[in-house]
A = this chain, B = another copy of it.
Amino acid sequence: MPLVNPHDPLNTLKPRDGAAGTDRPRALLEAVEENPDPLLKLAASHVVSSRQFTREELLQLFRLAAQYETTPALMHLPLAGKILISAFYEPSTRTRLSFESAWHRLGGSVMSITDPKSTGIAKGESLADIAEMFNNYGDVLVLRSSEGEAVHNMLENLRIPLVNAGNGIDEHPTQALADVYTLAKWRPELFLPDCPPEKHVKVGIVGVPSRMRTVRSLLSMLSLFPEAIDEIVVISREEENFDPEQRELLEGAGLKLRVVNDLDPVLPELDVVYINAIAWVGDTFESMGEGLNLNRQSPLKEGAIIMHPLARGAELSTDLDDTPHNWYFAQARGAVFVRMALLTTVVRRISAVMDTPEG
């Protein structure tokens, strides 16, 4: 083993995935016309659910994310002096650092809560009272909780914007933003008006929509673009995969849904394979979909991309990392930029990075 393992001096060692470099975000940037209005409107909302976004808001968020992704270093830091409260009552280093990195890159300060036992909650303090405290201490709250209700209890008294970073099995809207931003970089026309039929895609989702917040939030967001998606195939070994109203809502929005039990037979049809094996149950998690695995021998369609919210387990083999199917690393990378875009929006600093009437 070499004692010195030189890191890459000129960034010539490319990310080992199918989406290296800035060509793709630049193409996305050029495909969408800048318009601050949807983001100025979004700035008046807490970010609780992926169902709350409009197509226009998503496109402008993705455009701003792409702008950040193609800018090596910001000339001025639009959030200097602003404070993010990063409250992770359910532990998650990956999501926490993604948010905090996004905020730091914009020049802001961070206060983290990573140990639920050290908070007033341990003394029996209510979430409504904690919200009052947060009003005084920060400019935005990022909240992760294993309780689905926590977000809503917190909102009772909250006067600063809240961004839901995962609440129980309910929602994880910024993960969905990262997921759909990845698709938008891969194939921008999917999200633009009049996507031609030959560009439509079939999306496979290995997971359980009723029990995985990532899958639930992704499906809700995709339901805004039903005309570009030929079909969504849920691959699952469970009996029940949808909440009753969930399936109704998605189909009502125009998504065509199918459920199958096995992955390999359907794989050659799929343009996008989204795989996730972890469902959160209270403070811990459960692995699902045993036997539903992807590796280099899997019969993937040429040009198909694989996505995964990470962290991964045995369901996604590392032997795929060096193939062009690997878009999961790009997905994690893009998550920082799309969170930068969202955070800039909710703390009303859009005028610092886009041309606005009042800017």
How far, in Å, is A338 (CB) from chain B's closest CB? 12
A138 interfacial by beta-carbon distance below 8 Å:
yes
B336 lies within 8 A of A136 (CB): yes
Chain copies in the assembly?
3
A295 interfacial by beta-carbon distance below 8 Å:
no
Known contacts A81-B107, A137-B336; decide if A3 and B52 are in contact (CB<8 Å). yes
A168 interfacial by beta-carbon distance below 8 Å:
no
A245 interfacial by beta-carbon distance below 8 Å:
no
How many A residues, CB 8 Å from partner?
Answer: 83
B97 lies within 8 A of A111 (CB): yes
Determine the chain B residues whose CB is within 8 A of the CB of A126 once the complex forms: 318
B101 lies within 8 A of A136 (CB): yes
Determine the chain B residues whose CB is within 8 A of the CB of A200 once the complex forms: none
Among A21-29, A181-189, A232-240, A305-313, which stretch is in contact with chain B? A305-313
* Cβ-neighbour of A81 out of B77, B109, B120 (below 8 A): B77
Q: Can you identify 16 A-B contacts, CB atoms within 8 angstroms?
A: A3-B51, A4-B49, A5-B46, A5-B155, A7-B155, A77-B80, A77-B81, A91-B115, A98-B137, A114-B118, A123-B311, A125-B310, A125-B311, A125-B312, A126-B318, A129-B311
Q: Residues of A at under 8 Å CB distance from B?
A: 1, 3-9, 11, 13, 15-16, 43-46, 48-49, 51-52, 73-74, 77, 80-81, 83, 85, 88, 91-94, 97-98, 100-101, 104-105, 107, 109-115, 117-120, 122-126, 128-129, 132-133, 135-138, 152, 155, 157-162, 278, 285, 310-313, 318, 329, 332-333, 335-336
